[in-house]
Amino acid sequence: MSELTINAVYAIELCGGEVRYWQYLGPDSRRFVWWLDTETKQEFNEVSLMYAWSIKGLHASENTVAQERRSRL
């Protein structure tokens, strides 16, 4: 996957197959990479994760989809 976009939401697949949507917050001054779980609203860094996960792709929010539909009209 190419470089991640700060504040973009990504579809994340956890090791058990569950898909979550995390907002990429970017690295801090210590180079820890931070995320926000969009469902629980909990912020965390990658160092704190205790399970395997992978980025499946950029998630199109409802607002983004609506804007794209309007631009086609």
Q: What is the pTM of this model?
A: 0.78
**Dihedral (CA of 65, 1, 46, 29) sign:** negative
Predicted confidence at residue 51, as pLDDT, reads 87
DSSP category for residue 47: G
Q: Where are the domains of the chain?
A: 9-72
Q: How far apart are CA 10 and CA 30, in angstroms?
A: 23
Each residue's pLDDT expressed in tens, for the chain with a length of 73 residues: 579 999 999 999 999 999 999 999 999 999 999 999 999 999 999 999 988 999 999 997 655 544 444 554 5
Q: How far apart are CA 28 and CA 47, in angstroms?
A: 12
The helix or strand, by DSSP H or E, that contains position 62, with its residue range, turns out to be helix 62-72
